[in-house]
Structures are given as C-alpha cells and as structure tokens.
Structure 1
Amino acid sequence: MEWINNQSPILLAFLATLITWGLTALGASMVFFFKTINKRMLNVMLGFASGVMIAASFWSLLAPAIEMAEGKSIPSFLVAAIGFLGGAAFLWIADKIIPHIHFAARKGESEGINTRLRRSILLVFSITLHNIPEGLAVGVAFGAAANGMDGVTVVSAMAVAIGIGLQNFPEGAAVSIPLRGEGLSRKKSFLYGQASGIVEPIAGVIGAALVTSIQAILPYALAFAAGAMIYVVVEELIPEAQSGDHNSTDIATLGCIIGFTIMMMLDVGLG
C-alpha cells in the first residue's frame, strides 16, 4: 500500500484502467466458449452495468465534487451542475458525430454521421463511446486522491476502478458474442470486443493529468465524468436492458439493483 501511495496518480490511473481494459478482454474471451448470448442474460449484463455506473456517478464523482466546491465563490451545487451538464453535452455531441449502432438495432439502422462501415465495427464504436467516461472517472478519481481531496483516497479511487472493471467483464461478452453470432470468426469477435476497452487507459491518463495540473477544474471534472456516465446509462444501457418480454425486463431491473448495491458497498466501504 505504501508503494501505491508514493506513485504518480497518472501512473496509477494508467495501471488501473489497464486492469479495467483487461477485464473487458476477459469478458470478450467468452466468445471462445459461446456462439450466442441469451437475450435475458444480455439484459442482466446491461442492467448490472447501469447500476454500477449510477452508483459510481453519485458516490465517487458527484458527492465529492459538491463537497470540494463548498466554501468557494461559486455555489457548490452550481459547480456540480455545470460539470454534470457539460459531461452530458459532451456525450450528446459525440453520440451525434461518431457512427455507431445499439445492440437491438435493426439492419441498416445507425446513429451519428452517415457511414458505410460494417455493422460489427459500428457496434464496437457504440461500446467505445461509453467507455470514455468510465476511463475519465477512474483518472479523475486518482487525481482527486493525489490532491488530498477530503473523502477521496487512493483506496476509494481503486474502488471506482474495481466497480467499472466488474461491469466491463459482462460488457466485453455482450460485444464479442453478438459479433460471433453475426458471422465473424471467434478470433475477430474477441479482438473487436476487447478493442472497445482500449479507450479507457487513454481517457484515464488524460483525466488524471488534467486534474493534477489544473486543480481548479477538479470538482468540474468529477461532475463532468458523472454527467457523461449518466447520459450513457439513460440513453443506451437502460433502454437496451429493458427491451424484450416482461420477464427479461424484470431480470434486467434486478441486475441494475444488484450492480448499484455492489458499487455502493465498494465505494462507501472502501472510501
């Protein structure tokens, strides 16, 4: 633990997001054992990911942002609101520009700018898009810990990384197995599935570097990551998890509750 406390937050963010990427790859490796994924299981995975991201957005990001902004010239709730709306706006713009599709999209349906890219690539782009705020969340958390921010420690930053890693495992499987079902080889399905997590170390390093070099933006950065994560949950994960019959949606809701509970316990317990 002493070694960890003595390391650069940028290095710690990089190492932590390498692990979250590795868990995405581990989940993607499930394609070597399964060719198809049950719709109910996919809904549970997406619901679980939603719960983890919602809990992390509050306990790991928004609450610390509000606490850090207290006593400043700008009201703390306004700082959090500006950052939160900025994060949501960033993902909204990216959603309109980057070509991608959702899991349940019909053939020919896509979002973002018009493109002739294959459906498999568009699906990977979709997951890559919402891995950006996940990497940012880890990086900003380690940056906040390095700045000695009250309520944020290296251990709590590690809890953020663990929570995101937990939901990255089923997410990796939720990408690679459908790709296999569309006719790609197991090797290509795995490579595409794990590739969706590459952006996390990049975003993690950027987040940690920014908040350690410009401390004034820290509360805004925390709230920004929260807004981006909530945008992904509401715009993509929950609608996808709630598609299907009544039993599937019930299971997805249960997955969300479990994911939320696990992340809450990690964050509060380790924080």
Structure 2
Amino acid sequence: MSALLYIILSTFLISLSVWVAVLFLFFKEKFLSKIVLFLVAFSAGTMMGGAFLHLLPEAVEVIGSDNFVLFATVLVSFVFFFFMEKVFHWRHCHKGHCDVHTFGYMNLLGDCIHNFTDGLVLASAFLVDIKLGFVTTLAVALHEIPQEIGDFGVLIYAGFKKKTALIVNYLVALTVVIGGVVGYLASFYIEEAIPYLLPFAAGGFIYIAASDLMPKIREETSFKRSINLIFVFVSGIALMFVLKFF
C-alpha cells in the first residue's frame, strides 16, 4: 500500500472523530463533564509520549548530528502554534468581550487551520516511516475526540442549530484530509524538508498538550480525581512507550 493511500485513510478516519464525539453528547451532561476531562488527560499523555518517544527520536535518527537545527525547529513550531492560537481564536475579542456569533465562526476558521496542520504532520510521519504514521494517527485521533465535543458545544452556544453545527463541524474536520494530501504532494518539491517536519510536529504536540490540555487537568481541585487524572495521563504516555516495541 502506498504512503498516499495510508495518508488518505488515516486522515479520513480522524475526520470521523466528529461522529464519535457526537455519540458522547447523548450522555447526560453531568456524566459527560466527568469523562471529558479523562479523555483530555489521556490525549495529553499520548501527545507528549508521541512527541518525546516517537517523533523526536525519529527526527534525531533522520537528521543526524545537527541537534541545534532540530531543537530550533521544535522551538519555532511551539511559537508558531502559539501565534496561530492567538490570531485565530482571540482575534475578535476586545477588552474581555467576544461576540458569540463571531467567536463561532472564528472557532471554525481556527479548526480549519489546526486540522490542515494535523494533515501535514501525518503526511510527514507516513513519508518517513509507516509505523510512525500510525502512532501519530493514534495520538491525533485521541486528541480530536474531546476537542470535537468542545467545538460542537461552542457552535451551539454561538447560535448554530444542532444539525447545522454537526454538518459544518464535519466539513471542517475534512480539512485534515486536504492537509495530508497537500503534504504528500509538496514532498516532491521540498523533499529535503521532510525530516524537519518531524520536530515541527513534535513542537506542535508539545504545545497542544502543555498549553491547551494540561491546564484543564490542573484546574481539578479534588485530590482523588487529580490522582486519577495523573494516572490516566501517565497511561497515555505508557501506551506510546509500549508502541515503540511494535
């Protein structure tokens, strides 16, 4: 099976996370609020594990001894994702006030960019190594489920009807497929840049986990739930560790 077919299949499966997220919406709100935080903790663990145990070691192996460029790429990626989040999620918020409808559309635009970038990341992983592509797909998919639940809620709050919110959210999710195909096609013109997409992807994973996901876990005040969340977070890392041996 060609790398392109793997990329298309994996990105398409990730786009289906919208429908998986919808299934969770049938649960009672109280139960949903409890389980979402554990999904966030697990996805944070898999993203951290994916970055430090898979993407970065693979990048070191491919790039070689040029560690300065490798870690500089990680830093550039971290700043890039921070910039993108600031621009596309808070651009229309002024003095603590956001127009709800505007925020809904800006959320969709931000998701388009985010999903497109995910597609580029997956393409770069599959082009380097098929196994690395599958591991990256798993990490991205686990992150997408709680994110899609939140995105659906934002659209409803912004005034979208449920059916409209679902359709629009899925169309936006399909940009991950576009990103994957664009990444694959671009590799023919910038083949020498492919190895550096791995530390760039790692920087994105680290930013999302450390800046977006882990702060949500930190907000938990119950000692018992905090311990459980830490265990789930470590379980996500452990899963990535185990996958190193397959």
Q: Deviations over 1:111-143 (max 9, x none)?
A: xxxx76444444555555544443232111111
Change (3 A) 1:51 1:193: farther
In the alignment, what sits opposite 2:27?
34
Q: Which aligned pairs between 1:210-249 and structure 2 lie closer than 5 A?
A: 210-247=186-223, 248-249=225-226
Which of residues 181, 190, 204 is equivalent to 2:166?
190
What's the RMSD between the two structures over aligned residues? Answer: 3.0
Q: Deviations over 1:135-179 (max 9, x none)?
A: 23211111113xxxxxxxx23322321332234334333433565
State whether residues 116 and 177 of structure 2, in contact with CA within 8 Å, keep that contact through their aligned partners in structure 1. Answer: no
In the alignment, what sits opposite 2:177?
201
CA distance in 2, matches of 1:56, 1:212: 26
TM-score, L = length of structure 2? 0.81
State whether residues 55 and 198 of structure 2, in contact with CA within 8 Å, keep that contact through their aligned partners in structure 1. Answer: yes
1:251 aligns with 2:205: no
1:94 aligns with 2:94: no
Q: Deviations over 1:199-230 (max 9, x none)?
A: 32222223333344423212211111111221
CA distance in 1, matches of 2:176, 2:109: 13
Q: Which aligned pairs between 1:103-252 and structure 2 lie closer than 5 A?
A: 117-125=101-109, 128=112, 130-145=114-129, 154-177=130-153, 185-247=161-223, 248-252=225-229
Q: Deviations over 1:51-103 (max 9, x none)?
A: 11111112332111111111xxxx431121122122112212212221359xx
1:260 aligns with 2:237: yes
CA distance in 1, matches of 2:28, 2:156: 6
How far apart are residue 20 of structure 1 and its match?
1.0
Percent identity, please.
20
In the alignment, what sits opposite 1:17?
11
Matched residue type, 2:41: G
CA distance in 2, matches of 1:223, 1:26: 29
CA distance in 1, matches of 2:106, 2:194: 33
State whether residues 42 and 241 of structure 1, in contact with CA within 8 Å, keep that contact through their aligned partners in structure 2. Answer: no
Aligned length: 241
Change (3 A) 1:144 1:89: same
CA distance in 2, matches of 1:261, 1:109: 41
State whether residues 100 and 157 of structure 2, in contact with CA within 8 Å, keep that contact through their aligned partners in structure 1. Answer: no
Matched residue type, 1:139: A
CA distance in 2, matches of 1:167, 1:91: 15
Matched residue of 1:16: which SS?
helix
Matched residue of 1:99: which SS?
helix
